[in-house]
A and B are shown apart, each in its own frame.
Chain A
Amino acid sequence: MTPLLDNFFNRQILAQYGPSILGGFRLTVEVALATIAIGVITGLVLAIVRAMRWKPADIVIIVFVDIFRTLPQLVVIVFLYFGLPYADIQLSPFAATTLALGAVLAAFATEIFWAAIQAVPQGQWDAARSLGLGFLEILFLIILPQAIRIAVPLLTNRAIAITKGTALGTAVSLPELLGRAQSSMAIAANPSPLTLAAAFYLLFFVPLVVASRWLEGLGSPKTSSGRH
């Protein structure tokens, strides 16, 4: 037991590197919130644009969605951070990570919102139009409130899954939780900082994962599933 305690729960080392790792956790939460804000808002806007059915915009959005839904998150992060400087665009690690993850989430969110908008029965549009409402009124007052309710369980799962990608920021030397833990581990020659980081990740994500299971159960008990 002693090597396990000394190595993974070394109190002296935990006390020494704790504050730095706590700072990393704060940055992780910031990246996560920024990613969700960028991803969900962009996704909603793009889905609304698609609802207007304007061909040129449709094509641009479909290409955007296909690219960022298909590429691995880490490939996008690495491309933004190590590729763009050749075009004289040098992003900070924070910007590269949030933009990359935000774009990936935006792609999935666009898909989900757009499918949810289409899932609202056509009769709702017809009825609202016959009452004399305009396109935007129908969309914002009648369709979107229903569509968003359909979208929430899927969107929550996607948002959580992609938010876990914040740890990938360590690949572009973003000093977030995992990055700080790794450098502390290298300096201290002891993996206790990593244990602490793992505990922080669980503290952050376990409640979200449990909540998303509950949310899915509420939405549709018959098709609930543990997707990403």
Chain B
Amino acid sequence: MEALQLFLDNFADWDSFVRIWPLLWQGLQLTVLLSIVTLPVAAAAGLLIAILYSFHNRPLNVALLIWIDLFRSFPVLVLLILIFYGLPFLGLTLPSFAACVLALTLNHSGYYGEIFRAGIEAIPPGQREAARALGLHPLQVIFLVILPQAIARVLAPLASNSLELVKTTSIAALVALPELLRSARVAQEQTYNPTPLTAAAIIFFVLLFPFARWVARLERDMIMRQR
């Protein structure tokens, strides 16, 4: 019991939590803002890549595959450091928020691009031909016929990737953007107490857990369908 009390005093001290809550709340808002700005931009970029790919122009497709594999291969933190600390040497200084949005978007345009591409390529060509024969415009064919089926097919990786994107926003802490993790580190150093870190971990967990469970179920269903 004594050990538990000691642990709680250290890692979950209510008084320090109350003291640092305003800081964490600011950080949480920034984490949410970064996520809701980056998610749609990165997904749209990936979708654009996949749609361009679906026209099956050979040189263009080679270029698109290089883009996808290049940005999937970069650890996102390396991209972020290149953008935030490297670009200023070329006279282009981005604020940390913009640098994070750019790094996450480039990285995840590769992931989303590959996911949407795989989904679209899995739709039998007959669908496209039939829709064209009915007189639909090529864009109508993509958005009304191909994409709804493609997205249904790759829902699990789409959801999983979106969750990873939100989790990855925490690397913004390393370029001094005061999102949730960074705020917790600052608070921990001010209070000489790890409670802010525990609190940040719990906030991340509570926020992401329902989504993580949903993603796990989608992935499990996908594995089960493979048998």
Verify that A and B bind, or say they do not: yes
Given contacts A83-B197, A164-B75, A191-B89, contact A115 B223 (CB under 8 A): yes
State which of A86, A119, A208, A209 has its C-beta within 8 Å of the C-beta of B226: A119
Q: Are A75 and B77 CB-contacts (below 8 A) given A83-B197, A194-B82?
A: no
Q: Would you give the 0/1 interface string for B214-227, flagging 1 where the beta carbon is closer than 8 Å to chain A?
A: 00100110111111
A79 adjacent to B197 (CB under 8 Å): yes
Q: How far is the CA of A52 from the CA of B11 in the complex (A)?
A: 35
Establish whether residues A166 and B75, one from each chain, have CB atoms under 8 Å apart when the complex forms.
yes
* Residues of A within 8 A of B (CB-CB), count: 65
> Which B130-180 residues have C-beta < 8 A from chain A?
153-154, 156-157, 160-161, 164, 167-171, 173-174
Mark the stretch among B19-27, B37-45, B109-117 that contacts chain A: B109-117
Inter-chain contact B157/A225, CB cutoff 8 Å: yes
A71: chain B residues within 8 A (beta carbon)? 167, 201, 204-205, 208
Which one of B54-62, B64-72, B93-101 is at the interface?
B64-72
Q: Binary interface profile of A, 147-181, with partner B (CB < 8 Å = 1, else 0)?
A: 00011001000000100111110110000001001
What does DSSP make chain A's interface, helix, strand, loop or mixed?
helix
A185–B85 Cα distance when bound, in Å, is 9
Q: Contacts A74-B173, A178-B77, A182-B85; is A119 near B223 (CB within 8 Å)?
A: yes
Chain B CB within 10 A, most for which of A72, A151, A182, A219 = A72
A201 touches B75 (CB 8 A): yes
Q: Any chain A CB within 8 A of the CB of B30?
A: no
A141 vs chain B, min Cβ distance (A): 19
> Are A225 and B154 neighbours in the complex by a CB distance under 8 Å?
yes
Whether the Cβ atoms of B201 and A79 lie closer than 8 Å is: yes
Q: Mark the stretch among A42-50, A62-70, A90-98, A132-140 that contacts chain B.
A: A62-70
The prevalent SS among residues of B at the interface is helix
* Residues of B with C-beta under 8 A to A118: 224
- Judge whether A75 and B181 touch: CB under 8 Å: yes
In contact, B77 and A150 (Cβ under 8 angstroms): no
Contacts of B110 in A (CB 8 A): 226
The smallest beta-carbon distance between B170 and chain A, in angstroms, is 4
Structural contact, A202 and B219, CB atoms closer than 8 A: no
Taken together as a complex, chains A and B put the C-alpha atoms of A202 and B78 apart, in Å, by 11
Whether, in the assembled complex, A78 has its beta carbon less than 8 Å from a beta carbon of chain B, the answer is yes
Q: Is A57 part of the contact surface with B, judged by Cβ < 8 Å?
A: no
Known A165-B75, A225-B154, A227-B160; judge A7-B205 contact (CB<8 A): no
Ranked 10 nearest A-B pairs via Cβ: A226-B114, A227-B157, A205-B73, A72-B167, A164-B75, A167-B75, A83-B194, A225-B118, A115-B223, A72-B170
Tell me the B residues contacting A by CB distance below 8 Å. Answer: 7, 10-11, 68-70, 72-78, 81-82, 85-86, 89-90, 110-111, 113-115, 117-119, 122, 153-154, 156-157, 160-161, 164, 167-171, 173-174, 181, 185, 188, 193-194, 197-198, 200-201, 204-205, 208-209, 212-213, 216, 219-220, 222-227
7 contacts between A and B (CB under 8 A): A70-B208, A72-B170, A75-B170, A83-B188, A87-B11, A225-B157, A227-B156
